[in-house]
Amino acid sequence: AQKVTQAQTEISVVEKEDVTLDCVYETRDTTYYLFWYKQPPSGELVFLIRRNSFDEQNEISGRYSWNFQKSTSSFNFTITASQVVDSAVYFCALSEDNNNDMRFGAGTRLTVKP
């Protein structure tokens, strides 16, 4: 069965610090898809990134970067030079092929203080 673990419940940093949010997943499938979503106080889940299990290349988008390592079943998310607007709950999620159910982790609440 698929499972996503986000061990960090809450993280607090000061603006301009770098911060890494951890995500570890479990799946028996060889084909699967990993996601990160941001949930600001307004409540909607904002899509950040999608990776498939065959593409282990790390990705950078502005201040955001993602490190996908199949060997450790991890898909970690780093925010460089954090800003107050980055404060939100961040969710890692996993979808398996031929499955309608996207499985979310419990989320990490990030607070960036000025």
Partner 1 sequence: GAGVSQSPRYKVAKRGQDVALRCDPISGHVSLFWYQQALGQGPEFLTYFQNEAQLDKSGLPSDRFFAERPEGSVSTLKIQRTQQEDSAVYLCASSSSGQWASIYGYTFGSGTRLTVV
Q: What is the contact surface with partner 1 in residues (CB under 8 A)?
A: 4, 6, 33, 35, 37, 42-47, 50, 91, 93, 95, 97-107
| 82 vs 95 by CB, closer to partner 1 | 95
User: Which neighbouring-strand residues pair with 108?
Assistant: 90
Pairing of strands 108-113, 10-14: parallel
Nearer to partner 1, 17 or 97 (CB): 97
26 token code pair? 């479990």
Nearer to partner 1, 67 or 99 (CB): 99
Shortest Å distance, C-beta 98 to partner 1: 6
CB of 68 to partner 1, least distance (A): 16
In the complex, minimum distance from the CB of residue 99 to partner 1, in angstroms, rounded to a whole number: 6
